[in-house]
Amino acid sequence: MHLGRIGIWQRRGEVSAEAAQEIEALGYSALWLGRSPTPAEVWPFLEQTDTLIVATGILNVWRHEPADVAARHAELTDAFPGRFLLGIGVGHPEATSAYEKPLAKMRAFFDGLDAAERPVPREQRVGAALGPKMLDLATERSLGAHPYFVTAEHTRFARERMGSGALLTPEVAVVVEPDAETARAKAREYAALYLAASNYVRNLKRLGFTDGDIADGGSDKLIDAVIAHGPPEAIAEAVAAHFDAGADHVCLQPISDDYPPVDDYRSLARALIE
């Protein structure tokens, strides 16, 4: 599976199968579906495109059984060989009442995928990861890691931790808006959920951000580091920083008032895809 360099990350419900055709035509190599999509929800996006890789970004392991996921994975890969990437993760504690021992839960889910009647091959799955132990597990048991809500400095840390052979695919939220204050206001609306989630806060503090940076919607320093904003050319520079730090593939999440944000797809493609 050749994931390419630039993909689109969009929550399910914010992107249509028809929009996926546009994403493919613009030259993006992958579409990541967020908000814990089931494999069945991936099917229309594969069916409506020809070469686009579609990934779950991520399937929440607390809400699914690995044997069922493996069976659905087999159906998708039989129908669309080489075009489905299974992304799995534990999400954040505030979203799951049963959340405990996340590392053990991820390890057990990988074990279940391996033990299924039709196992999910290691090279067809990727693990959501932020901290060092989860990065280690994703490297050991899958193609690599899919970090979310991270800075280029985290990408550098992840690459150093994972080594050169593992796939590193950070999500990068972007606001295509030339006015900095307008862009930051929109970015803060998006960031509010994650600045209230303990795992993302812990990761930001690991990177040197303080309680002051996290309070009141996030400091300009934090918002600018996590959420690329400005005209497409400025966003291209922020994406280049992730590649310079060791990313193999960057999936862009346009934050917009309109969904699907087709105009953003087009302007970003002109700046980022040769």
Which residue pairs, CB below 8 angstroms and at least 24 apart, start in 63-70? 63/36, 64/38, 65/112, 66/109, 66/111, 66/112, 66/113, 66/115, 66/116, 67/112, 67/115, 67/116, 67/117, 69/39, 69/113, 69/120, 70/112, 70/113, 70/116, 70/117, 70/118, 70/119, 70/120
Is pTM beyond 0.95? Reply is yes
Q: What is the pLDDT along the chain (274 residues), one digit of tens a residue?
A: 789 999 999 999 999 999 999 999 999 999 999 999 999 999 999 999 999 999 999 999 999 999 999 999 999 999 999 999 999 999 877 677 677 899 999 999 999 999 999 999 999 999 999 999 999 999 999 999 999 999 999 999 999 999 999 999 999 999 999 999 999 999 999 999 999 999 999 999 999 999 999 999 999 999 999 999 999 999 999 999 999 999 999 999 999 999 999 999 999 999 999 7
Q: What integer pLDDT is reported at residue 169 of this predicted model?
A: 98
Q: What integer pLDDT is reported at residue 1 of this predicted model?
A: 79
Q: What integer pLDDT is reported at residue 204 of this predicted model?
A: 98
Q: Is 258 helix (H, G, I), strand (E, B) or coil?
A: coil
Q: What integer pLDDT is reported at residue 97 of this predicted model?
A: 62
For residue 12, count other CB atoms closer than 10 A to its CB.
16
Indicate the length of the chain as a whole number.
274
Q: What integer pLDDT is reported at residue 140 of this predicted model?
A: 98
Q: What integer pLDDT is reported at residue 247 of this predicted model?
A: 98
**The CATH number of 6-272 is which of 4.10.490.10, 3.20.20.30, 3.30.1330.10, 3.40.50.970?**
3.20.20.30
Cβ–Cβ < 8 Å for 265, 22: yes
Q: What integer pLDDT is reported at residue 79 of this predicted model?
A: 98
Cα 197 off chain centre by: 17
Q: What integer pLDDT is reported at residue 93 of this predicted model?
A: 74
Cβ–Cβ < 8 Å for 176, 264: yes
Q: What integer pLDDT is reported at residue 100 of this predicted model?
A: 81
